[in-house]
Amino acid sequence: MVSVSILNVTSYTGLELLRLLANHPHFRVTSVTGRSAAGQRLGQVFPQLYALAGGACQEEARHLAELEIMEEPEATELAFVCLPHAAAAEAVQALLQRGTRVVDLSADFRLRNPSLYQEWYKHTHPAPALLEQAVYGLCERYRERIRTTALVANPGCYATAIILALLPALSAGLVSRDLIVDAKSGVSGAGRGLRLDTHYAEANEDLSAYSLGGHRHWPEIVQELETAARAAGQTYEPGLRLTFVPHLTPMTRGILATCYAELQPDGSGRLPTSSQVQALYRDYYAGEPFVHVVDQPPHTKWTYGSNHCLLYATVDERSGRLLVLSCLDNLVKGASGQALQNANCMFGFDERCGLQGGAVYP
């Protein structure tokens, strides 16, 4: 068994990792940290852990529940870092120095340009020397590099949904450089910290846009889409022009991103049809275990609690635009599930290990 530590286990992403790892055949959590609950047993903070695993795995559930939450991690072979940005980078440096392989769920190693990081996160990068070493943790793009790296930068939740939605179209040169994304997320995407806009009375029965001046996932999205387009021989000079507006919705989990792009005519001046676009998307993601092209607009309920991303692509013939809807659980494929998928890839395990469950419905 590969020994695993989770830093900041009391976060939503840390707790979700515990849920997913409880039944994993190759990983075993042996160390957890969380300064706000240091000295307590996991089962005291999260009593649900006692019933987390079923059948033959009851012993593992008890093991998790009895783990003591520490201030600093013990030595393990793999670490999931669920700390806020900046604090995460400092922890990652120490982990790598002791020989631990790391999946970092913060934003600290997603952007390759440290100046861009400073612009969007408002402070100097704590470990710029590690940026070249870090691999962006989207298995659908970087599977072979993830297998051999010691540091994976787990993508953001919005970024995952939007990048997966637009990769096939941009790689094929199907659309112009002008992109518009309207995305909606559940309240858990804001984390466990207390904020006025996530209080029940504020968020319930309300829908609101936020970060209109620029969401921090914007540079990550543009970076990865432009990189993929160049790799496929497509040029979008002077770069992609993305308008991205996120919205807070009164639900716990889920992201639904609606992406719009102007279609490019082929050599004879004709635009692709919906069936041609759907065929392109199915071919692009053929064989991917967690990305599925569906025949109707997806609902967030269809991915709730699972590591699956559902895509629906169609053509608006009146406007000549491509429409792609992307749906996933922000805590699973948008965070902890994707982190586990990356870890499976790093250690040579089937990417589906610990992630076989479907959505919780209704």
**Residues annotated as part of the active site:** 157
Q: For residues 274 and 280, give the distance between their C-alpha atoms in angstroms, rounded to a whole number.
A: 10
- Residue whose C-alpha is closest to residue 52's, from 14, 16, 95: 16
- Residue whose C-alpha is closest to residue 139's, from 175, 100, 103, 86: 103
Sign of CA dihedral 312, 315, 184, 110: positive
∠ CA(134), CA(344), CA(71), 5° rounding? 70
Q: For residues 249 and 127, give the distance between their C-alpha atoms in angstroms, rounded to a whole number.
A: 35
- Give me the DSSP letters along 78-100: EEEE-PPTTHHHHHHHHHHHTT-
Give the start-end residues of each E strand in the chain.
2-7, 27-33, 69-70, 78-81, 101-104, 135-136, 151-153, 175-185, 208-209, 241-248, 255-263, 291-293, 309-316, 321-328
**Count of alpha carbons within 13 Å of 295, Cβ hemisphere only?**
0
Residue 209 burial (CB count, 10 A): 12
Output DSSP code: residue 348.
T
Count how many residues are written for the chain. Answer: 362
Residue 209 CB contacts under 8 Å (≥ 6 apart), including other chains: 245, 246, 247
Which run of H or E residues covers position 159? helix 157-171
Q: For residues 156 and 145, give the distance between their C-alpha atoms in angstroms, rounded to a whole number.
A: 19
